Amino acid sequence: MMHTLVTGGAGFLGSHLADRLIREGHFVICMDNLITGNMDNIAHLIGHERFKFIKHDVTEYIYVEGRLDNILHFASPASPIDYLQLPIQTLKVGSLGTHKALGLAKAKKSRFLLASTSECYGDPLIHPQPETYFGNVNPIGPRGVYDEAKRFAEAMTMAYHRYHGVDTKIVRIFNTYGPRMRLNDGRVVPAFMSQALKNEDLTIFGDGQQTRSFCFVSDLVDGIFRLLMSDNEHEPVNIGNPHEMTILEFAQEVQKIAGSNLNIRHMPLPQDDPKVRQPDITKASKLLGWAPKVGFDEGFKATYAYFKNKLGL
């Protein structure tokens, strides 16, 4: 039985990963300081014989008793509203937190998987984005605290692999949605859905022609698990759904499922907001035999039903 630590394990992605790992027979240790994580996400796992929760800030020294086979480092604010409100914490968890987690992996001889992000590509000048693209990031802009924290984390992870021989993996995660997202986390999926359920205007930043590629959470988790279990790949791998749509098209899909012709309100585009975002998943396809399976309509309806239930509607 593998023993696996998930930092940020009470978050949206971390909790879904914990579910998958337990289904695969792992003993899962979930570590979270609950700044943006939520115990509701893992309430169903409390008391499970192969699950343990530790409340801890990973920017401090990490102690875990016994052996660890895998460490998945997912601790970080991940939505714009979070990292703009928590800029220092975001930088610290990407730097100090990654250093502490890698130090633990070295000491325990664990396999280490870093949750990186498509934000490493910034506002890209190459489309779609392959892993070989170095990105177009403003390091001193408001989004730089997240972008550069993750880019530093990737550099630190590769340094531990090359210098200390730690078995490392890096996943660059593209826009993901599904149950357990926070209604108020500022990302477009929960924002539009909560506005629709409250019969409010749908807020679009800019003209709505900027694009995103939405991956359902179960598909993302499957790709991450396959990467964790794979051998001989240590450089970044994109995981995301290459189906691209404009924000305006997404708003129209929300109107359709809500059964209401909600008004659309345009707001100024935030600084450094990416104009396009689409993963090149050739590497994941060849290396992992992975491709997304959940269609947009199916995932969208499941997520809408989740938010509707959360709002008691």
- Token pair of 255, please? 């109107």
Contact by Cβ (8 Å): 20, 45: no
Q: Which of 61, 63, 133, 146 is catalytic?
A: 146
Could you tell me where the beta strands, DSSP code E, fall in 56-179? 70-73, 111-117, 168-173, 176-177
Other residues' Cβ atoms within 10 Å of the Cβ of residue 272: 16
Specify whether the CB–CB gap between 169 and 227 falls below 8 A. Answer: yes
163 is an active site residue: no
Sheet containing 51-55: give its strands across.
Answer: 51-55, 27-32, 3-7, 70-73, 111-117, 168-173, 237-239
Tokens 């909560």 found at: 194
What is the C-alpha separation between 258 and 304, in angstroms, rounded? 9
Return contacts of 84-87, CB within 8 angstroms, 24+ apart. 84/142, 84/143, 84/145, 86/35, 86/36, 87/142, 87/145
Do 136 and 126 form a contact (C-beta atoms < 8 A)? no
Residues acting as catalytic residues: 146
